[in-house]
Every structure is written in C-alpha cells, then in structure tokens.
Amino acid sequence: MPICTRHNRREVINNMRVITGSAKGIRLKTLDGMDVRPTTDRVKEGMFSAIQFEIPGARVLDLFAGSGQLGIEALSRGAKQAVFVDQSAKSLSVVKENLKLTGFTDRVEIYHQSAEQYLRNCPEHAFDLIFLDAPYRMQILEKILPDTERILKSDGKIIAEHEIECKLPEKILNLGLQKKYFYGKIVVSVFAKL
C-alpha cells in the first residue's frame, strides 16, 4: 500500500508516539494537512536502532522539526539537549505542546527560522546528532548537507530521512555515507565525518 494515502496518513498521525525511553508510549500531537508527513514508527525504530549507542548524553539537532518527534524520541532515550528548528510557527506550536506532554521543556532550544538561516548562525562542532527530515521532492537535502558538516562534532552522525528517488552522494565535503536503510519507499541515510 502506498505510504502517502490519506488512510495511512491518518493512521500514522493518530498513532504517533514516543517508542521507548523515559517518555515511552506518550502520544504526540501533529499538524493536520497533506504538507505534514510524520515519520512512521517502523522507520523511526530503525533510525534510532542505528544510532542507539550515540544517543545518551548527546546534543541533538532536529532541523526540520515538524511535530518534534525525532528530537523528542532522542530526549526520551537519554539525549542531554535537543534543538528544534522549523520555519513554520504552527509546527513549532505543536513542538511546544509535545514537549510539555513529555516533560522535556527544560532541555531544549527552539528556533523559528529556516534551516538555511539557522545553519548560517550556528557555531562549529555544536552537535553530536543531526536529524534531517526535510520535505520530500524539493532537493533540500542536497543543498543542506554541506552546511551541516561544519556544525557536526568530529565523531557525530547525520541521520537523513528521504524518499527513495532522492539519490544522495557517497561523499559531501568531509562527510561520508556510512549506511543506508530501506523501508519501502523511504530511505534513512547515515553520514559521518571521514
């Protein structure tokens, strides 16, 4: 069944929850509308299994925050701090609601900016983990990935969720593609510094 059908989408939104950790099982809110594309539990579980040992004590960036579910999942699993960035005020309102629901408001920073604006002003080597769940079919990841290299710590990881049609290069500046995980039409690509 296609991932984007209205029925599947509604099911994902109604069941969006924290998978494990201190906030396990808490249902998260999301924006309605066809522009919103929450990460499914299956993809999220695979994504976090790939980086499970890097999460405790990490400083995390959720660059296209949406509902904040990726940053919140990281906090639930022991990340020290999460930064949420989104250019949509409505999305950030949902992020704030979800942070209250999960009790993580004291461990976050929230920025109402585009990804490009945030990356321009972010200090070097600021993050252990960077989540990129950019809007599909807009070639945003190809533009953003080179700028994320500068703000990633030397032993950090970038986790990018994208559609299978998006072909990311094996090497971008000093970033190398470590692994790819396939979930039907969705791909999770993990990058690290070479």
Q: What is the pLDDT of residue 2?
A: 34
Question: How does DSSP classify residue 177?
Answer: E
Indicate whether 171 belongs to any domain.
Answer: yes
Q: How many CB atoms lie within 10 A of CB 164?
A: 12
Rounded to an integer, what distance in angstroms lies between the CA atom of residue 64 and that of residue 152?
16
Indicate whether 134 belongs to any domain.
Answer: yes
Q: Which residues of the chain have pLDDT under 70?
A: 1-15, 33-37
Q: What is the pLDDT of residue 109?
A: 98
pTM, to two decimals: 0.90
Indicate whether 154 belongs to any domain.
Answer: yes
C-alpha distance across the termini of the chain, in Å? 38
Indicate whether 54 belongs to any domain.
Answer: yes
Give the range of the structural domain holding residue 21, as residue numbers without chain letter. Answer: 6-193
Q: What is the pLDDT of residue 37?
A: 63
Indicate whether 159 belongs to any domain.
Answer: yes
For residue 128, give the nearest of 67, 161, 168, 79 by alpha carbon.
Answer: 79
Indicate whether 1 belongs to any domain.
Answer: no
Q: What is the CATH number of the domain that holds 140?
A: 3.40.50.150
Q: What is the pLDDT of residue 28?
A: 95
Q: What is the pLDDT of residue 35?
A: 52
Indicate whether 150 belongs to any domain.
Answer: yes
Domain count, the chain: 1
Indicate whether 71 belongs to any domain.
Answer: yes
Q: What is the pLDDT of residue 41?
A: 87
Q: What is the pLDDT of residue 43?
A: 92
Q: What is the pLDDT of residue 176?
A: 97
